[in-house]
Amino acid sequence: MTSMNRKSSTATNTSPARSKGVQQSPLDLLKQKLGRDAQLLDEIPAHAVHLVVPEGPGIEGYAGEAIKIGTIVDGGAKWTLQAFITTINRKSSGLPEVKVFGFYPEFSQHKPFSVADVLSKAELRDEFKLLKTYDVHALAVVIKTCFILKGFELPRNCSFTPRFIRALSKVCRKYRDGADKMSSSPFSASDADSSPVIVVKARPAMRKSEQRGPRNQMFGPLRRGSQAPASPIKSETLDVFEAPFVESANGSPSVAVSARAQEVPKTPTPDPRLRAHQSITPALPPVQTMTDSTNAKPSKPATQDPEKLAFMRDVSEYVKLREESDELDRDLDNINNKVAAVKHDFREQIKSLQLYIKSELRHKHKKQIRELYVKQKSEADLMNTNCDQMEAEQEKQTKALHQQQEAKITRKEVLQRELGEKRSGFSFDQLLDFVTTQQRDSKKRKRQDSPEGF
């Protein structure tokens, strides 16, 4: 596939009426579907898109060329992200699907990545960074459009659905708004103040469905005007300058100014990036503006009919409401997709948990129960052994006490016999003498122990 730059691919002049038997290219069909919004294709930075041909056998079912969109870190490795488009449209209508694959290292390994992960975790190339704040559908739309702008041939059953056209128009406007915010005017404030060239608004056409070139020449959004140089500055109001743009020696556009204007300090040349964003439709012809002449008169508005002005306001409000309605449709689609994704994720988690309960969890607890039973039996055996030892010790101690008891009883019986024998050996007179002697000795001890004088 031959890579074409953005300017040449989007500048193709496509006429709505084509000769019979000539098949329209995908780019011509896309411009025809976009209608007057075909000029928005200039906002897609296809000139910066990098087409690569992966080494190896390729991926079955996908085109041989891919679009490099950035890098992502997964599993501690840095993967190069490339977007592929299918060669066969699996749907009855619409465009082929886009799939993002990561390659690491070089092309030895590859695996798919979801668009949601790409937008949330990947480091996108400059031409796709604006889409990180958008949704997953926008990235797919831009990638498909880049393939078409690069000359990719679509399958015969492909078509551009209204949803795709609406999404593409919105994304192009996002790119346009983002480019206007990031780019600045090539003229400095001092140059603008000292220049005799006055910027005015372009005169609107009589009807919204047509534009007028020099000498009331009409041309549609896809028809190129004659001798009407494109302005290098993109603006939503289509500002034009009184002095025409000419080609300078270095190839960049410059403004032809008067002798008085040449006395102004050197004017910086326009940013070359603005040339890459020129529109495929011609700019409106220069309008006579006020100069230093005292006889100059201010230009009058194209129409002063109140009904037409009211109609234009109503149309503008309708377009805004329509865009808001389309935006709400996209938001609702995104919410529905998120709801479906949440249901799918939880359904898969529930299925996995139920399978775990029925299979692995049951066996897991059986094993634990067997281990606990073995542990319980071991502890019971140990306790029974301790009980037997305690019973043996009890019997031993009890036997020793019984032996002591029998010895004491035997000794007491011997003492009682000896006491009986001794008592039977004493006579009555001996006992009386012993008692009398004991009493006399007791009185004598009392007198000796008492203090004197008492």
On the question of pLDDT at 1 being above 90, the answer is no
3-state secondary structure of 84: strand
The per-residue pLDDT for 107 is: 55
On the question of pLDDT at 268 being above 60, the answer is no
> Last residue of a domain, which of 238, 273, 302?
302
268 and 200 together in one domain: yes
Report the C-alpha gap between 317 and 323 in whole angstroms: 10
On the question of pLDDT at 280 being above 70, the answer is no
The per-residue pLDDT for 93 is: 66
151 and 259 together in one domain: no
142 and 13 together in one domain: yes
pLDDT tens-place string over residues 12-54 = 443 333 334 456 788 888 898 899 888 989 998 888 888 888 7
279 and 173 together in one domain: no
Report the C-alpha gap between 410 and 421 in whole angstroms: 17
* Among 91, 9, 18, CA closest to 46: 9
Q: At a CB cut-off of 8 Å and minimum separation 6, what does 280 contact?
A: 10, 11, 12, 38, 39, 41, 42, 222
Domain contains 408: yes
The per-residue pLDDT for 379 is: 93
17 and 150 together in one domain: yes
Give the sign of the dihedral formed by CA 51, CA 182, CA 329, CA 123.
positive
Q: 284 and 240 in contact (C-beta within 8 Å)?
A: yes
Q: Which domain holds residue 369?
A: 311-416
On the question of pLDDT at 209 being above 60, the answer is no
Domain contains 196: yes
pLDDT tens-place string over residues 337-360 = 889 888 888 888 898 788 878 777
150 and 44 together in one domain: yes
Q: Higher model confidence: residue 238 or residue 147?
A: 147
The per-residue pLDDT for 23 is: 66
What's the predicted TM-score (pTM) here? Answer: 0.39
The per-residue pLDDT for 452 is: 56
51 and 110 together in one domain: yes
pLDDT tens-place string over residues 148-206 = 998 888 877 788 899 999 999 998 998 888 754 444 333 333 333 333 333 333 334 44
Which of the given ranges, 92-96, 226-230, 252-256, 302-306, has the highest pLDDT on average? 92-96
The per-residue pLDDT for 304 is: 60
Which of the given ranges, 46-60, 404-418, 440-454, has the highest pLDDT on average? 404-418
In angstroms and rounded to an integer, the radius of gyration of the C-alpha atoms of the chain is: 53
Domain contains 454: no
Q: Of 36-40, 53-57, 249-253, which range is least confident?
A: 249-253
* Among 43, 52, 47, CA closest to 81: 52
* CA-CA-CA-CA dihedral for 394, 399, 400, 404, to nearest 10: 140
Domain contains 361: yes
Q: How many folded domains does the chain comprise?
A: 3
What DSSP assignment string belongs to 237-285? T--B-SSPEEE-TTS-EEE---HHHHTSPPPPPPPHHHHHT--SSPPPP
The per-residue pLDDT for 108 is: 67
Alpha carbon 380 to its chain centroid, in Å, reads: 59
Domain contains 362: yes
Alpha-carbon separation of residue 427 from 422, 433, 435 (angstroms)? 11, 10, 13
The per-residue pLDDT for 421 is: 86
194 and 178 together in one domain: no
